[in-house]
Amino acid sequence: MVTIYDLAKKLGLSPPTISKALNDQPDISESTKEKVRKLAEELGYTPNSSARGLITKKNWLIGMIYEEEHLGLDVEHPLFAGIMNSFKARIERAGYELLIISRVLGNKKLSYLEHCRYRQVDGILILNSTIDNPEVLHVIHSEFPIVSANIVYPHVCTVTSDNKEPSMQAVRYLYSLGQRRIAFIAGPSEYSSSPAVERLEGYILGLHEIGLEYDPELVVYGHHWNVESGYNAMKDLQQRKIHYTAIYCAADVLALGVMKYCQENDIHIPDELSLIGFDDSQWASYSHPPLTTFRQNRQVIGELAAETLLKKINGEDVDERICVPVDFIERQTCKKIDEFYLTRLGKGSTM
């Protein structure tokens, strides 16, 4: 390993001069800088982040806290890779690298917080955690600059998709198609997941806005954010023997479960049932029929999270909550209500 001392010796200069030349300090002559850079290149010198970080207290490292196994998420969370990629690209441009924080170190278990201190990260991104994770709560009350993506924590700067307005829009849209009995398949209620909560709020708000009554019988919770939960929720809904002609789902995967149920039970979408999802997953345009849904803008979420964190690191003020608009993607799972089919779904009567 080539060090600054090797360069110093070869050039007959002192280590501090080498250091300053390499860092392009103003008090070093251009000719010296030239010589130093040339030799450094020749010998393949690379600085050592540990030595540098030890003395400067700056490590150019962002810690990412990312919980993969919870909420019953499928291994691949639809937002994870996209947000991570754009976040990474943005912090990279500012000179930071991304370290995935774990909870084990050697044979010792460390908390996230201890780990962040151990690595002396300059800032922390919390991605897809749960709101009541005590490990994460410790981090949140720490001295580090922090930004959360997707999940809202009190007093923590958070970047998420707008969840309320699109939910209201979903209701409005269905209403405009003549739908009056609009069911909602919500996200899991056991876990405190802010998107789940906010989408439900938006649904209720949307009904109020339009003047439709909110009927709790029309709301069913998916146990997890996955297809099976959507399937089971739909089954549950059917067993309630109530009347409805449309379903808004808090996630595409839930909607996919509904579609599966409908296929098996010969319920025709959109003729008999209108359906809206949330996420615009990769497959949403290829489902049968293509799913009407809301596209979350992963790239913007990641970028804004990065920019906000960078600001915090630099001591600038930032907003506590940043909402990223969502795009409504109209495909083919919704239809103007059709009197012909009106009576088929559910044996209830209230209309």
Partner DNA sequence: CTGAAAGCGCTTACAG
Q: Would you tell me which residues interact with DNA (CB under 7 A)?
A: 1, 3-5, 12-17, 19-20, 22-23, 26-32, 45-48, 51-52, 54-56
- Tell the smallest beta-carbon distance from residue 48 to DNA (Å): 4
Q: Give CA–CA dist 275/249, Å, rounded.
A: 8
* Residue 114 or 228 having the CB closest to DNA: 114
Residue 14 site contact among DNA, a second copy, none (CB < 5 to 8 Å, cut-off depends on kind): DNA
* Residue 19 or 189 having the CB closest to DNA: 19
Any residues with CB less than 8 A from the CB of 79 and at least 6 apart, and which? 128, 150, 279, 296, 298, 301
Length of the chain: 351
Taking a C-beta distance cutoff of 8 angstroms, is the pair 156, 321 a contact? Answer: no
Q: Give CA–CA dist 265/348, Å, rounded.
A: 18
- Tell the smallest beta-carbon distance from residue 316 to DNA (Å): 21
What is the radius of gyration, based on Cα positions, of the chain? 27
Cα-based distances in Å from 136 to 88, 131, 302:
21, 8, 20
Phi, then psi, of 324 in degrees rounded to 5: -100, 125
Per-residue binder mask for a second copy (CB under 8 A), 279-318, x = binder: --xxx--xxx---------x--------------------
Handedness of CA 165, 296, 197, 145 (dihedral sign): negative
Q: Give CA–CA dist 40/150, Å, rounded.
A: 44
Binding region for a second copy (CB under 8 A) out of 145-153, 232-240, 255-263, 317-325: 255-263
- Tell the smallest beta-carbon distance from residue 237 to DNA (Å): 57
Tokens of 305: 């999270």
Q: Any idea of the CA torsion for 264, 268, 273, 277, to the nearest 10 degrees?
A: 70
- Tell the smallest beta-carbon distance from residue 209 to a second copy (Å): 33
Residue 27 site contact among DNA, a second copy, none (CB < 5 to 8 Å, cut-off depends on kind): DNA
* Residue 117 or 311 having the CB closest to DNA: 117
- Tell the smallest beta-carbon distance from residue 349 to a second copy (Å): 33
Per-residue binder mask for a second copy (CB under 8 A), 54-73, x = binder: x----xx-------x-----
- What is the amino acid identity at position 51? A
Among 257, 251, 253, smallest CA distance to 238 is for 257
DSSP string covering 13-41: --HHHHHHHHTT-TTS-HHHHHHHHHHHH
- Restricted to residues 71-130, the positions that interact with a second copy (CB under 8 A) are 74-78, 80-82, 85, 88, 92-93, 95, 97-107, 114-115, 117-120
Among 100, 88, 46, smallest CA distance to 299 is for 88
Among 264, 255, 251, 271, smallest CA distance to 326 is for 251
- Restricted to residues 187-226, the positions that interact with a second copy (CB under 8 A) are none
Residue 15 site contact among a second copy, DNA, none (CB < 5 to 8 Å, cut-off depends on kind): DNA
- Restricted to residues 20-49, the positions that interact with a second copy (CB under 8 A) are 46-49
* Residue 86 or 158 having the CB closest to a second copy: 86
Residue 259 site contact among a second copy, DNA, none (CB < 5 to 8 Å, cut-off depends on kind): a second copy
Q: Which residues bind a second copy (CB under 8 A)?
A: 1, 46-51, 53-54, 59-60, 68, 74-78, 80-82, 85, 88, 92-93, 95, 97-107, 114-115, 117-120, 227, 256, 259-260, 281-283, 286-288, 298
